[in-house]
Every structure is written in C-alpha cells, then in structure tokens.
Chains A and B, each alone.
Chain A
Amino acid sequence: MRLKTFAGAALALAMSAGAAMAEWAPDGPVKLWIGFGAGGETDTLGRLVAQNMSEATGWDIVVENKPGGGGMAMFTQLATLPADGRTLGMGVTMPVLVNLTIRPDEVPFDLDSFDYLSTVALAQLALVAPANAPYDDLAGLIEHAKASDGALVGFDAKPQELLMQFVDKQAGAGFRLVSTKSSAENVQNLLGGHVDAAFVAGAHIPYLESGELKMLASANASRHSYAPDVATVQEQGFEIYVDPWFYIAAPAGLPDEAKTALADALAAAITADPTKEVVMNAMHTEPSGDGPEATKARLTDGLVNVGKLFGQ
C-alpha cells in the first residue's frame, strides 16, 4: 500500500512534468470520502473508482470512510471544506434528500452547498415476493392484503416505507410495514415466509433465476434491465417512484478547470471496464457516469420527488 502511494506520487510527478501545460491537477493527494462504513456497496464502488482514477491520472487518491446518518455526517463535514478539489464525497441521493425535505432547518447544508461531479450508478429497487405467493403484481398483493386482514411488507429505508404508504392510502390495502436494516434481511424474511413482500435492491436476482422469489414491481421510474417484463409501480397505477443514485460531489465553488478535470477523470474511472464489471455483477445495472449538469439535475429532480413522497 505504502509502496503504491510512493509509486503513485512518482508517477504524478513524472506526468505533471510531461504535461506542463495540462489543465488542472491537484496539488497533493485527493481524498475520496465515503458516506458509509467499510464493506458496504458504496464503499466497494468508491474504492474501485478511486483505484481506477488513480491509475489513469496518476493522482494519489486516498479513500476514507465517514459513516453516519446515511452519508449526512460526511456531507455536513464536506460542505465546510475549501473548494480546492482535494476532497470529494460519495453518497446516495435518498438519505440526503429525505433529510433536506423533512428537517431543512437542522441540516447545515443544502443542494447548493456542493458542486456535483458525477453519478456512479442507479440502485435498482424491486418489490419482491416468494415465488409461491398467490399474487404476481401490485394489484394482486393489494387484493391479498384485503382478503387476509393486511399483508406484511419489509423495507430498509424511509422512502420505501413512504412509497408503500402512498400505495396503501390510494388502495386501502392495509399493509403492515416491517422495518429492517438491509436487503439481505429482507431476502431472508422472504425466503423464510416471514413477510408477504419486501423491497430488495439487486440481492434478489439470483433467486429469480432459481425460482424461489418473484418480482412484483420495479420501484424505480424505469423498468429493470434484467426483468423487462415487470412493470413499474407507476405503470401499475400509482404515481410514485424511488430513484436512489450513487453520486460524487465536492464543496461548492470549484474553479471551472478543476471541476472539468475531476468530472472527466471520474467519468472515465466510473465507466472503465473493471468498474463496469463490478457494478454489473453486484448491482445488475450499468454504471452511469453522468456529468456535472446531469448529476445536479438528478439531485434537484429527486428533491421534488421526495417532497411528493412526503406530501401525501
């Protein structure tokens, strides 16, 4: 690791000498802060992006975990740093947008506190049920819930709960929502028959193949690449969706050339083959690598959508 750092630094020196007129390069190591603890999806993705980026640009990139509040702790700290392009933060849109919606006064930053550099990927969120359940879509689940005195639906994040409450209010189904800590816990409860349906982001796909689980709906605004026949919640008649994007931001006010250089380097690292392979393997989706403008739009549109989730 140490050796690698030295090698990286040496390479950076060599490159900066070679490309003296090159646009922008950081004047030291760049930190990539991960808004979650070691070992999660965000962490694995972030470390891989950092490694690719460091190899491609020769910059020395240091990954640090800053867990707490689904990335809130990290972004709170990031917003206070100087805009020198030396510290970047990677998080997921949903927890940030939820907090900005329900506690705007307590959150010490807003969407304008950051310059947005790139999206990394969209988490594909599905509503899943055991394969032997007597329903195949949202309407069937609602039917089942009405007939059997409520249905148990597992969720592991607030927006999923709100989405289900939205559906419940419109349909009068009587869902009982079971709060869990992870997709893995939801899959386990589904397989064990402890819940009637649950939200899962990717972990369910092997079970679709083995025929133990089935997918009732895509909770995103679009259908999922691996299950093009399953309609979204919106298509099934409920005007609501949840789109959690992984994205990378920096403190607001980056000089233009720094912003361009960083965004280009990130986009290249995110769409590079090794990252692509991991994103495909782990999340069954293409890495996105949207540029600054599109990333910012994801956030602002997302905030409107989350407002709608809460404003029911």
Chain B
Amino acid sequence: MPPLEIILAGFADAFTLVNLAFVLAGVVMGQVVGAIPGIGPVMAMAIAIPFTFVLDPLVAISFLVGINKGGLFGGAIPAVLINTPGTPDAAATALDGHPLAAKGRPNQATRMALFASVTGDTFSDLVLITCAAPLATAALMMGPVEKLALMLFAFSVIAGLLGDSLAKGLMAAVMGLLLATVGLDPEQSTPRFYFGYFELYDGPPLVAVAIGMLAVAEIFRRMAGARGGPRPAVAASTAGDRVSWADYWGCRWVMARGAVIGTVLGAIPGIGSTAAAFMSYASARTSDPGGVPFGEGNLRGIAATESANSAVMGANLIPLLGIGIPGSITAALLISAFTIHGIQPGPLLFQTQGQLIYGLFGAMLMANLSNLLIGLVSLRAWTVALRAPDSFILPAALVFCIAGVYVSTGGMFGVAVMLISALLGWAMGAVGLPVVAFIIAFFLGAQFESLLSQTLVIVDGKPAALMEHPIALVLLLAAIGTAIWLGRR
C-alpha cells in the first residue's frame, strides 16, 4: 500500500467540484441509459471514451465510473416498475420487484432496489480499496478448471430456483443451452446452426435475446391483455409505500450475503454478474423465507439480487487494479480510458499511479453517494412518468427496445433476433416454461462450454489429473452437496 500522503492526496484530487460535477453528470446519464432497454452503461461508456480524451485523466475516469454506477441501478427501474428488464441481472430484480410494485408499492420496491444496490456497491468498493492486491493474487489461483467447478457450484445453487416444476424448469434450461451452441465452437471454430448468417458466428446477440424474451415479450403480453379504457402503467401508491428502517434492517443478512457473493464472483475474471444475481436470489429464497412468498413481492428478493449484481461491478476492478486484468467489459472500457491517457494498467499501477488510483477510489465513493441522492429524486420522476396510461408507455417502451437493440447489435439483424425471442418468450410463458431458467442457461452456456473445452485440454481427458486441482475438487464436492441438500427439501 502506498504511503499515507499519496492516499490522502489522491482522495483530495477526487473531492473537487469539477470532479463532483462530472460524477453527477455520469450518474444521471448512466441511470437514464440503464433504464432504456438495450443501450446500457457499456454502450454509453464506449461512446463517451473518445470525448474524455480532452479531459484530465481523473476527471475522465470519474465520469466513466459515474456512468457505470448509474447504469447499474438504472436497469432495475423499468424491471421493477413495468416488468421489462433490459438485462438478465435486472430480470432477477423483476422477479420480486415487479409483483411488489403491482401491489401498489412501486416506491417501496424501487427504493429497496436503490438502497440494496448502493449497499452492495459500497461494500465491494471498500473491499477493493482495502485489499485489492492480495485478493487479485488469490483470484489468479482460479484457472479454467477451478472456474468450471465454480460454475457447476453456481448452477447447483441456481437450480433451487427451478423448484416448483422441475421438469419444466429443466426443459427450459436445456433449450437455453441449445441456443447457446449457436455460433463457432470453441475447439475447432466450426460454425454451428448459423444458416449462412455471419452475424451468428459469435452466437445470437445476448442483448437482443435478453431484451426480446424479458422485456418485449412482457410488452406484447400486456398489450394483448389490454381491455377497456386507459390504465396507468404503474399501479398507484397505496398506504405503507415506503422503505422503513425496519424493512432495510430486516434485509441486512440477505444484503450482506449478496454483497459477499457478488464480491467473490466479481473478483474472479470472467464469471459475471448474472450468475451472482441469481445465486444470491436463490440462496435468499432457500434460506430466508420471510413473510411474503418469493415471487410475489418479497423485499428480500429485491435486496438479494441488487446487492449482489452491484457488488460485482466494484469487485470487477480488483483484478484490474491489482494485477491489470479486466474482469468484465466495463473494466476493459476503463482500461482503454486509462491507456488513452498514457496510463498502463498492470502490476506496477499502484507504484506508478498510486495517487490517481486513490483518486479513482474517491470518485467511486462519490459516485455511490450521488447514485443514492440522484436515485431518490429520479425515482419520483420515473414513478410519476410511468403513471401515464399504458397505451402510451408500452408502445414507447417497445420503440426504445427496438432502437436500443438496433444500436448495440448494429442493425436490423439484432432487432429480428429480438422479435423472434419475444415470440418464443411469449409462447414459453403461455405453456408455463420458466423464461428465466432459459435465459440463465443461455447466458452461462457459452461460458460454460468454453471453460469445459479448456478444462478437457488441461487435464488431457484424464479425471485423475483433477487431483492436482484441490480448489476445483472442493467446489465440485460443494456442488454435489448442494444438489443433494436441495433434492431432499
């Protein structure tokens, strides 16, 4: 750790009015793009990066951090209010967030998401600030074999979500895995199921499938169900529509567990926030029943997912700042912002740029606070705006979905994939197949296949070679144990 005066100088650099202004601007922008399906913080950061070239490095990075953090929470707003999540993480938030909002407690649902998001985020930022370097070194021990075992463990925990109808849940998951096989195979680069479309070489675009199945399908469903006169898109507030201190405090263990799950998975490059959000949600559901059944508006469900997926993002910077490896796309974008300014991320970053890094930490803490304050104000605006009749809101949301997917996938192909996914999602919903199981399997499937292929090469096809990977063995045993335990319940 650098000397105290460098740390203090770094924080002093961060806490200036100019920086605060850029962080605030970033958070506002992030919340808006996060709330619009399909655009999201990644796209916004990529567009903003060339413009930050003229800024001072710390200001530039603070701005990007603001966009990122604002975007993280922004995604939860439409997921909770009108059940149109733009990402799989937000889908986990919608599971309990939307039912609660529909019961006349939109403010309680969105605010709980905000508080949990800021809590998880702050937790992982503090872990990052205090022990990035040792954690990053520990994360290096997770090679492909260990990550594969970790993924299996995550699957066994998430399987608890299939619960009610195991057969239907498995069917949906297998369909998701099947869709994940579209594209070049990781071993020989043979194109599979691509039907002459080069767009499918990298698999169906994730954003298009997620928005199609989760958001557009819901929009269609609500449009089809519309009868009679105009109704507000969001249920009106009823009594008790707020988060009391008791509500927040009652979720403390759920949030703590979510923050830990998110931080651990975030510190390991290449696992991602979807697995963390669903692992946290599943474990909250199996171990913390609470009053209201899960899936019908349980506050703990919201707290679990939002604390976990927000914690991932701070922890993603652990490998980036500790050893110079980006743990996610947003971390990679921050790297390009660093390199544009001539700062080489890598093992020597703390030695050479200590002051800047502590400036970045200062900016992250500032962004968390801004997220909370701006969130409290903007949530009011969102709930009022979305109280417009759903005959306005739904078509507008559909236009945003189409535009967002068009921009991020680069054309009508992505839009077509989105619409097909929407029809599929609608059909699956109609026959009672859980769309969420499909989406998780699809998102993690490609990663899983890649890790499996790497593992097979590394152990050279010999199961005995697993003995050289004790961490993987422990995780595999934990996965089996969880599966048995869940099976008994």
Which chain A residues have a beta carbon within 8 Å of chain B's beta carbons? 1, 33, 37-41, 43-44, 47-48, 50-51, 64-70, 72-74, 76-77, 106, 150, 152, 158, 176-181, 184-185, 187-189, 191-195, 203, 205-207, 209-210, 212, 274, 277-278, 281-282
Instruction: Tell whether, in the assembled complex, residue B198 and residue A69 are in contact, meaning their CB atoms are under 8 Å apart.
Output: yes
Contact with A along B286-311 (1 / 0, CB 8 A): 00000000000000000000000000
B145 contacts across to A, CB distance below 8 A: 194
Select one of B43, B329, B340, B454 contacting A180, CB under 8 A.
Answer: B454
Instruction: Tell whether, in the assembled complex, residue A39 and residue B332 are in contact, meaning their CB atoms are under 8 Å apart.
Output: yes
A281 and B339 in contact (CB under 8 A), knowing A39-B45, A68-B199, A184-B326? yes
A66 contacts across to B, CB distance below 8 A: 410-411
How far apart are the CA atoms of A238 and B473 in the complex, in Å?
40
A33 contacts across to B, CB distance below 8 A: 410
Instruction: Tell whether, in the assembled complex, residue A65 and residue B344 are in contact, meaning their CB atoms are under 8 Å apart.
Output: no
Q: Which residue of A lies closest to B349 (CB)?
A: A206
> How many residues of chain B have a CB within 8 Å of chain A?
58
B200 CB-CB contact with A under 8 Å = yes
How far apart are the CA atoms of A41 and B326 in the complex, in Å?
13
How far in angstroms is the closest Cβ of chain B from A26?
20
**Apart from A39-B333, A281-B339, 4 more pairs, CB < 8 Å:** A73-B198, A176-B460, A179-B186, A192-B140
How far in angstroms is the closest Cβ of chain A from B349?
8
Instruction: Tell whether, in the assembled complex, residue B345 and residue A206 are in contact, meaning their CB atoms are under 8 Å apart.
Output: yes
Instruction: Tell whether, in the assembled complex, residue B269 and residue A188 are in contact, meaning their CB atoms are under 8 Å apart.
Output: yes
B344 contacts across to A, CB distance below 8 A: 205-206, 281
11 CB < 8 A contacts A-B: A40-B332, A44-B49, A47-B50, A48-B340, A51-B53, A64-B410, A179-B453, A184-B269, A187-B324, A203-B324, A281-B340
Instruction: Tell whether, in the assembled complex, residue A70 and residue B410 are in contact, meaning their CB atoms are under 8 Å apart.
Output: no
Q: Which residue of A lies closest to B409 (CB)?
A: A67
How far apart are the CA atoms of A37 and B140 in the complex, in Å?
27
Contact with A along B311-351 (1 / 0, CB 8 A): 00000000100011110010011001001111011111000
Q: Which residue of B lies closest to A179 (CB)?
A: B186
Instruction: Tell whether, in the assembled complex, residue A38 and residue B43 are in contact, meaning their CB atoms are under 8 Å apart.
Output: yes
How far apart are the CA atoms of A198 and B184 in the complex, in Å?
21
How far in angstroms is the closest Cβ of chain A from B134?
14
A106 contacts across to B, CB distance below 8 A: 196
How far in angstroms is the closest Cβ of chain B from A105?
11
A178 contacts across to B, CB distance below 8 A: 144, 454, 457-458
How far apart are the CA atoms of A1 and B47 in the complex, in Å?
10
How far apart are the CA atoms of A179 and B197 in the complex, in Å?
23
How far in angstroms is the closest Cβ of chain B from A276?
12
A189 contacts across to B, CB distance below 8 A: 143-144
Instruction: Tell whether, in the assembled complex, residue A210 and residue B346 are in contact, meaning their CB atoms are under 8 Å apart.
Output: yes
Instruction: Tell whether, in the assembled complex, residue B325 and residue A179 are in contact, meaning their CB atoms are under 8 Å apart.
Output: no
How far apart are the CA atoms of A50 and B329 in the complex, in Å?
22
How far in angstroms is the closest Cβ of chain A from B4?
24
How far apart are the CA atoms of A194 and B346 in the complex, in Å?
19
